[in-house]
A and B are shown apart, each in its own frame.
Chain A
Amino acid sequence: MIEVNNLHKSFGDLHVLKGISTKFLPGYTNLIIGQSGSGKTVFLKCLLGLIEPEEGTICFDGQTYSELTINERRDIRSKIGMVFQGGALFDSMSILENVMFPLRMFTKMNLSERQDRADEVLKRVNLPNAHHKKPSEASGGMQKRVAIARAIVNNPKYLFCDEPNSGLDPKTAIVIDNLIKEITDEYNITTVINSHDMNSVMEIGEKIVFLKDGVKEWEGSKETIFKTDNEAVTNFVYSSELFKKVKQMYLEERN
């Protein structure tokens, strides 16, 4: 479980995070949603330890990150899998080498054991025949799958995804969303996804945290988000014509 208490972060005069508190439970796909500039990425980077918050605490299974030594922090980080928005695959390595990289860095597996494990996870993300391609030769969807494979290859306890389906067509985006959901259930990991895609919310949003101007405006699930009276949430949810139509149909059906 990841527990966040009263998180604050500023850049100069700009107060980006204003006292966010929440919990992300294991075995759940937790979504952080909100408009661009609402502080989602800064919040995610604080959770990852890439940005040091000014105030507040982040606890990984009861261990307060800011109170840990460098080696203890390193231990926590080795249990984190991260899927970056652009994939962040290493250009100089093949897809197989990218997936084997965390194993090479953090385990004592020999080459054949590493290859077997990488094969296994590449099959799991439906990429059984792309081992020797370079990331630049792979499509956007393939790159995202490789990034997921790399994130889960070392059996992480926590999986973070920064807009995992941005830049993908709707069908591939759903495949990626479902893959993340399946992996979360299969490995019982704490998954935190940063998104502004309402399709993702509908597909996999078991717990949703809505941010607005650096404040946690609302939290709930995909079942409750459509029933909330919170104006900021409804403005966000029904900003697209598609969802306006869905709401209209829902109301008509109810009446």
Chain B
Amino acid sequence: MNYLHNIGAYFLMIKDMFRRPTKWSVMKTLILKDIDDLVIGSLGIVAFISFFVGGVVAIQTSLNINNPLIPKNLIGFATRQSVILEFAPTFISIIIAGKVGSFITSSIGTMRVTEQIDALEVMGINALNYLVFPKLMAMLLYPFVIAIAMFLGIFGGYVACVYGGYSTSEDFINGVQLDFIPFHIVYAFIKTLVFAFVLATIPSFYGFFMKGGALEVGKASTTAFVWCSVVIILLNYLLTSIMLG
């Protein structure tokens, strides 16, 4: 019953977020700050993980090809497909749910605990629009993060393969270009945009409506991460079935 209540409250929050918009001059500053906090601030960890996981995917693929009849360019092909279709959009989103999601929940939750949200509401400001909408706008740039993750993942695979002696540079590049379907990129970016919406709104929901003190802020951050991950995995299945199935 509580789940149903939360789902209803979540969609009402989404609706309320668009009511009584904040002045554009203020909103612009908030969006730029959130782009810095949520998007630019995530680039380092995304780049690091993408590069090394891309490398591991390439190494694992090459180690599992024992048959001499299987061409070596399969390594590049498998790395590209894994990175573009699943690793960059989905795996990175789960990591971002931990980093960005807990940041959003704890920052909004702390504002709730210290009555800063009440202060906004007393002034007649729509606190949901002021706090959540800029985060949603900032996360519209999330596909750029994923594009970087895709590039670095494949590049990591190339470096690991070529410099680790698993295949030649030519084979890997041939593999990366083999049977390339541009729609896969569209599919990945559509998924990414949907995940961006989830990553901005679910943690905001748990932060905004939390009750209690500092301990509850921590609990809300954990709950937000768990639900973000669950929703991302479910939506990933749903979108893959609809778009590629």
Binding site for B on A (CB under 8 A): 48-50, 70, 73-78, 80, 82, 84-86, 88-91, 102, 104-106, 160
Additional A-B contacts beyond A50-B122, A80-B124, A82-B122 (10; CB < 8 A): A74-B124, A77-B124, A80-B122, A84-B115, A84-B118, A86-B115, A88-B115, A90-B119, A104-B25, A105-B22
In the complex, 16 of the A-B residue pairs with CB atoms within 8 angstroms, ordered by the A residue number, are A49-B121, A50-B121, A77-B123, A80-B122, A82-B119, A84-B115, A84-B118, A85-B115, A88-B115, A90-B116, A91-B116, A102-B123, A104-B25, A105-B22, A105-B123, A106-B123
Binding site for A on B (CB under 8 A): 20, 22-23, 25-26, 110-111, 114-116, 118-119, 121-125
A88 lies within 8 A of B125 (CB)? no
Min CB–CB distance B2 → chain A (angstroms): 16
Min CB–CB distance B176 → chain A (angstroms): 44
Partner of B119, one of A49, A73, A78, A84: A84
A105-B23, A105-B26 given; A73·B115 CB < 8 A:
no
B125 lies within 8 A of A105 (CB)? yes
B123 lies within 8 A of A78 (CB)? yes
Min CB–CB distance B138 → chain A (angstroms): 15
A70-B20, A105-B26 given; A78·B124 CB < 8 A:
yes
CB-nearest residue of chain B to A45: B118
Min CB–CB distance B109 → chain A (angstroms): 13
B124 lies within 8 A of A48 (CB)? no
Chain B residues with Cβ under 8 A from A49's Cβ?
121-122
Min CB–CB distance B239 → chain A (angstroms): 35
Interface centre among B23, B110, B114 (most CB of A within 10 A): B114
CB-nearest residue of chain B to A162: B115
Min CB–CB distance B117 → chain A (angstroms): 9
Question: How many angstroms from the CA of A59 to the CA of B103 in the assembled complex?
Answer: 41
Question: How many angstroms from the CA of A85 to the CA of B119 in the assembled complex?
Answer: 11
A74-B20, A105-B26 given; A88·B118 CB < 8 A:
yes
CB-nearest residue of chain B to A76: B124
B121 lies within 8 A of A104 (CB)? no
Question: How many angstroms from the CA of A90 to the CA of B238 in the assembled complex?
Answer: 40
A104 lies within 8 A of B122 (CB)? no
A-B pairs with the 10 shortest C-beta distances? Answer: A77-B124, A88-B115, A88-B119, A74-B124, A82-B122, A84-B115, A78-B124, A88-B116, A48-B122, A86-B114
Question: How many angstroms from the CA of A160 to the CA of B124 in the assembled complex?
Answer: 14
Partner of B124, one of A73, A85, A90, A104: A73
Chain A residues with Cβ under 8 A from B23's Cβ?
104-105
Chain B residues with Cβ under 8 A from A73's Cβ?
124
Chain A residues with Cβ under 8 A from B111's Cβ?
91
